[in-house]
Structure 1
Amino acid sequence: MDCKASATREDLEFILLNEDAEPKPLPLSLLVDITSDFSDKNIIGRGGFAIVYKGSIGNRTVAVKRLLHFDENGFQREIKCLMKVKHQNVVRFLGYCNETRGKMAGFKGTLVMAQEEERLLCFQYLSKGGLNNYINAGLTSTSSAQYFTHGSETGKHTFGGYMAPEFIDSNPENRAITKKCDLYSLGVIIMELLTGTRTPCAVNDVLDSWISQLGESKTKAQLEQIKECAQIAIECSNPKAENRPLDTKHIIDRLQKVESAQGTQLQSAASKLLLQVHPTFLVFELQPAGKLTPCLLHLTNDTDEDMEFKIRIEEGVDRRWSEQFGEQRFSGFGIVAARSAYTLILTVSWERDDIPENRFCEMILESWPNQDSYSEANKEEVKLTAYLSTQHRQSTAIPTVNKKQL
């Protein structure tokens, strides 16, 4: 793959300014020039496999990744993959260099012309110092460690929290980045996007934090997305590789399933329902022991007929939820008069040691015209989700998140 490229500064600047431009082979002389011969002053990142330099193109900047160790076949595969990836959330790949140059070096007491192989990749420059700073920019003011840091005392490279345990613990000479390693890194990044920290957080804690900060603007679709992403992050960052998801296709299928379900909900919401229901995601913010935790459910009847309704919980729900919404303490039925609104106050009461592990409860609100007898043919159903938030009982370690991330 060794080749002499002829791209110029103008060519590289054109690629940088035009998102539709394809990456090109870049001459080593050009990359040497724009990095001031790979000056230490231009180093912006250092890892076990590469050093990243800042390169200047006029008044613009690029990042040049100079590989320290590489496998020729692996290098070619990486270029092929990078050239296929084009996404607004992925750093743009601008070009590559694969050259061999002669360099005088000492050998057995004399100078000889040695062949020095250079493998480099050129990317869009991130002005905030690194990907993790971009991730944290809208999430937390706390600075995070770089992907890789260089241990000045030991001379060994210390890997940040993005690398899989099996990679870090393996013999450096036999280290290999596998698909399972990639999944681990993906899980850490997703968790960092959700919480501002790489530390694994329970799904409920992630939801509590977002619910608190989204306030009244939260929607069921948003919270379902957060829940699924948090679960994926936890599974991907499992310390044991065999317990991580099978592959990225499995993850994409799960995300598409959530998106598809939300599309169905939107279609139902857009259609003419017997009763308009708001909200469909009911958040019960846990109160001190002995106090009732209320949540308001608003029903609106825009038709010219009275509408009956009843609420039932789905089968398989934790018994403690069943006890909260059982017939003995919960009258989940009534009539909403024509052209009127009805507010139902739902309450729960939990003892400190009796909070269910699954803080979700799926319910169904059924409605039908009052003059008709209840039947499967004339009823409508709206799915409700109840969630028990412990945000008021205990504060989580999750930092402030940015609503714009959703």
Structure 2
Amino acid sequence: MSSSEASSITFTLLKEITDDFSEEKMIGRGGFGEVYKAVLNNGDEIAVKKLFPIYDLDDTKFDNEFSNLMSVQHKNIVRLLRYCYETKRGHTFQKGKCYFSEETERALCFEYMQGGSLSQHISKNSCKYDWPTTYKIIEGTCEGLHYLHKGRGEQHYIYHLDLKPDNILLDENLVPKIGDFGLSRLFGESKTYEISKKKGTAGFMPPEYIDYGKVTPKNDVFSLGVVIFYMLAGKKGYGHYRDALLRQNYSDKFIIDGVQESWKKKMEAVMGYRWDETDILGVRKCTEIAISCVHNNRDNRPSTTMIIEKLKKLDARIKEMLKEDPKPPMPLGKLTDLENNVKRKNCHNEDLGKYIVVDPSVELCFPFEPKRDIPCCLQLINKSGSFVAFNINTDPNKCRAQPNRGILAPLSNCYIILTLQAQEKVPPKMTCHDKAIVQATRVSKGFTSDKITQDFLKKSSAVDVAELPIVYVTSPQGPSN
């Protein structure tokens, strides 16, 4: 269902599928309403935002805001699926007199995001994921905000005014989508406004908004910069940056070098990951963007158009670097084509396995420690000029893969973080009988990851399948009971 097909839903049905808006079904609370998880009769999971009563909101205002939400359609914006707007009359008797009243119920139903909010994936030091995944989240968030500012025409731009990790949601493949437009407003002809009642979240609001109530697109750009900083260096790192800014005893290079070194140490600790020049370039450029976004003078902050242009140039440069040498640090004897460990089905097409590299290619080694989740990194490299869909199968009760499916563009790579669920005890003889299964097949440009299902793979004419056994190895600390 697309946003343009959003339809009405009765309040009675909403009460039914949320167990009368029970605490057990509640998954969030914002300034304008509470959010509940529910399942429609067709099996679709949705997030129901039950709006708080707004007594001074007339029908016209609600219709305008609803039309605003309906018109927003972008891969990095949470989709509106259903809506409820019902008014019922009631009456009460007081001191022998009958008093009539009206009660209005309003609710908006959005696609349910299985990955939760971005805030759940950020530690005090950085985003919890590997750098390529973190970069894709940064890039997707920037593209979503650019769409709100520019994607709907000059007269229909939207300012979010409360952009923060809590309002950026992730789907099952960690694709970011901007949500919660409770503070969004469509403005008229003027590009700058002054509002008396400040709305937003402390720490994410720019100084001109806090001091004077000024609203321009640069408000959201400032918030975006803070979000990127949180992903790069955590709340702690952003706090250090603001402190250094106040003391005026810092340089941009010092900040960028520090973020780069922190990410290098983080990724070198992940089994199977090799930090290289493409990662260094990505971290440094994103840190530069974050610093420019949080400039105290809004005139010195970039527009979303400028940010997207910088990211496109970065992507082009990384693509060139991968084309010249895809992840060079790995010894050639260990970097093996998928075809060396592959079972091919009906492969009458050009041999796909010759152009897809899986690394590691023989087995996945996890440094085992009891009572602790253990990550391991798997890299897929597309050396071909075609788009390739991939799917990662694991036992979800023992090992989760993020992302577990996706699309590899020509001459690109992708990292999958596999995480073993914590186990109480060391397994006998450190043995494991589980495995990860990698499936890959060529697809056309424009093919999306939500179409990668087992049914699709069964019907595909050529699918490469690589089985990678999971192996426990002794951690540097050594296993303990």
Q: TM-score range by the shorter chain?
A: 0.3 to 0.5
Query: TM-score, normalization: structure 1?
Result: 0.47
Q: Which has the larger radius of gyration?
A: 1
Query: TM-score, normalization: structure 2?
Result: 0.41
